[in-house]
Amino acid sequence: MMNKITVTLKQAGKRFNREWIFRKLEYQFKTGEYYAITGSNGTGKSTLLQCIAGSTSLNEGSLEITSTDASSIITPDEIYKQIAICAPYLELVEEMSALEMLQFHQQFKPLIPQHTIEEIISIVGLSKASHKQIRQFSSGMKQRIKLAQAIFSDTPILLLDEPCTNLDKEGYALYHQLVQNYCKNKLVIICSNDENEIDFCKERLNIINYK
């Protein structure tokens, strides 16, 4: 059973130089819920997601990630083990095939045990291209392998930033299917202004409210 996780932000603030991206943010995210971070382009949605991921630090306030099963705080050095992320700014190793990419990824972040890598590639519709170098993929195919890498990681926290970037209508349908089938026991946080990406999110955080 995957650990239940709570992410708590207290009076959280982030600035670049003298400009505050967000301030005095009080919020709590919990396992089993789908959360949407909304706000117009350039308002700081991705920055907040990166703070939660531990890839950038807050300038004020605190961010605490706790395992509610163990009643213990997860240290910054351990956070990466709890998180999988899919975002436009994350690069793929394009010299690898889809098969090699997931095999490489699995060496430092385990994939869920229910499916083999070959099955995962089939689920995201890339079986015929599994041995092709990713550099030969279309932008939509690259997004499918990014989603596979994140959603099928055996982690309690899933962070998605504009998860349907470059996807067509079939890709949107695949995205919803993946979330429905494989994310029910995870804490899922999605940055997006596209209602088709976040229509199932009952919890909404508008970053504009924390300027």
Instruction: Kindly report, residue by residue over 64-95, the tens digit of the pLDDT.
Output: 999 876 567 777 677 888 999 999 999 999 99
What is the pLDDT at residue 73? 75
pTM: predicted TM-score of the whole model, two decimal places? 0.94
Closest Cα to residue 46, out of 5, 87, 91, 92? 87
Domains in the chain: how many in total?
Answer: 1
> Are 84 and 73 a contacting pair, CB within 8 Å?
no
Confidence of residue 206 (pLDDT cuts 50, 70, 90): very high
Q: By percentage, how much of the chain surpasses pLDDT 70?
A: 97
Domain residues for the domain of 39 are 5-210
* 12-37: average pLDDT: 95
Q: How far is CA 41 from CA 25, 71, 194, in A?
A: 19, 37, 11
At 130, phi and psi to the nearest 5?
A: -65, -25
What is the pLDDT at residue 71? 60
At position 45, the amino acid (one-letter code) is K
* 103-120: average pLDDT: 94
What is the pLDDT at residue 68? 72
Report the CATH number at residue 22.
Answer: 3.40.50.300
> Are 81 and 109 a contacting pair, CB within 8 Å?
yes
What is the pLDDT at residue 67? 85
